[in-house]
Amino acid sequence: MADVLVIACGGGANNALKKEAEEGAFPIERVTRDGSTIPIDDRLALSELFNSYRVIMPFSILGGAVGSDAIGDIISCAKEAGCRVVSVFGIPMALEPERRRKALEMMPLLSSQSDCTMVLDMQKSMELNMEYDENKLWENYIRMSDRMLAGTIGALIESTEGPFFTVFSEGLYSFVPFYDVLPVNAVLKSWDRMLFDSGHARDGAVVMVGSNIKTPEIEDIKNQIVTRYGVMPEVLIRSDPDDSKVVVFRAMEPF
């Protein structure tokens, strides 16, 4: 994992990865209003830093001032340094309409600059994951989403050690983590409820499952998706044993 560097841009991204940063789970640099651990205003110094890594993974909840201002420079510097760029972006919820609008406006350029872009629509994810929460409090979802995002980023880092750009063969994906006792049910429930505004799906999908998932369950996921949607998904096995969580990635049309 040492050749993959995550850069958390803005308060939302840094809050989500706070535990991972403290525990040193994987290399993380941060860009925040109170200060940065990388020379964000020095492109030469940034390029020298990035030269030590094969993959740069910018992570930001788009729409805020700090993350939105820095993310484009980080991506362009990483490309100049010869790194592959796998960007992970969150789109704010509907209760922040201006931030959400700004995030969606930024997506076309940022995704075109990245080798692969993963997008979580936090509004759609909240509606899905809080479906059975009577109160449906956004504060509860934020705490949940932090753990889901951190786990997904960790799994993406692991997968870059394998044929990442073959499995994730498209440039833009919408994703959502979701829990259900039966993994195939989690996939089917989330399939059409994860697409961000103005996003159009393509025939491509990747499903991440925990290491405890057995071959019959994996085959069931594949068979159900093929039968219902006419798409043969790639299935990746994460190192964690959580057998109730799936992360579904659906390929999207580029902007």
* Residue 104 contacts residue 196 (beta carbons within 8 Å): yes
Task: Report helix, strand or coil for 141.
Answer: helix
The structure tokens listed for 104 are 């969606």
* Residue 223 contacts residue 149 (beta carbons within 8 Å): no
What kind and span of H or E run contains 247? strand 245-252
DSSP structural state of residue 211: T
pTM of the model: 0.94
Strand partners, 4: 55
> Secondary structure of the chain: what % helix, strand, coil (to 5)?
45, 25, 30
Domains of the chain: 4-252 (3.40.50.1440)
pLDDT tens figures, 218-246:
999 999 999 999 999 999 999 999 888 99
Helix-then-strand count for the chain, H and E? 10, 10
What kind and span of H or E run contains 216? helix 215-229
Task: Report helix, strand or coil for 99.
Answer: helix
Q: How far apart are CA 54 and CA 227, in angstroms?
A: 38
pLDDT in tens, the chain (255 residues): 469 999 999 999 999 999 999 999 999 999 998 889 999 989 999 999 999 999 999 999 999 888 777 899 999 999 999 999 999 999 999 999 999 999 999 999 999 999 999 999 999 999 999 887 666 667 778 888 899 999 999 999 999 988 999 999 999 999 999 999 999 999 999 999 998 887 789 999 999 999 999 999 999 999 999 999 999 999 999 999 988 899 999 999 998
Strands 116-121 and 4-9: unpaired
Task: Report helix, strand or coil for 114.
Answer: coil
- The amino acid occupying position 132 is Y
Q: How far apart are CA 124 and CA 255, in angstroms?
A: 20
Give the full edge-to-edge strand order of the sheet including 35-36. 35-36, 28-32, 4-9, 55-61, 84-91, 116-121, 172-179, 245-252, 201-209, 234-237
